[in-house]
A = this chain, B = another copy of it.
Amino acid sequence: MITVAIAKGALLKDSVARFKAAGLDFSAVLDPDNRQLMIPSVCGRGRALLVRNADVPVYVTYGQAQLGVVGLDVLKEKQLPVAQLVDLGFGGCSMAVAVKEDSGYLRASDLPPHCRVASKFTHCARGFFDSIDLPVELVHLTGSVELGPITGIAEAIVDLVATGRTLRENGLVAIEEIFQSSARLIGHPLSLRLDRGELQSIVDLMRASEIDIAYPS
Q: Chain A interface (Cβ within 8 Å of chain B)?
A: 3, 37-38, 49-55, 58-59, 62, 64-65, 116, 139-144, 146-147, 150-153
Contacts and interface: CB of A to CB of B under 8 A. Distances in A.
Number of copies: 2
A184 to B, nearest CB: 18
Contact of A64 (B55, B65, B146, B151): B151
B139 A58 contact: yes
Contact of A144 (B51, B140, B143, B146): B51
Contact of A143 (B3, B52, B147, B153): B52
A70 to B, nearest CB: 12
A38 B142 contact: no
A216 to B, nearest CB: 36
A142 B49 contact: no
B52 A144 contact: yes
B150 A55 contact: no
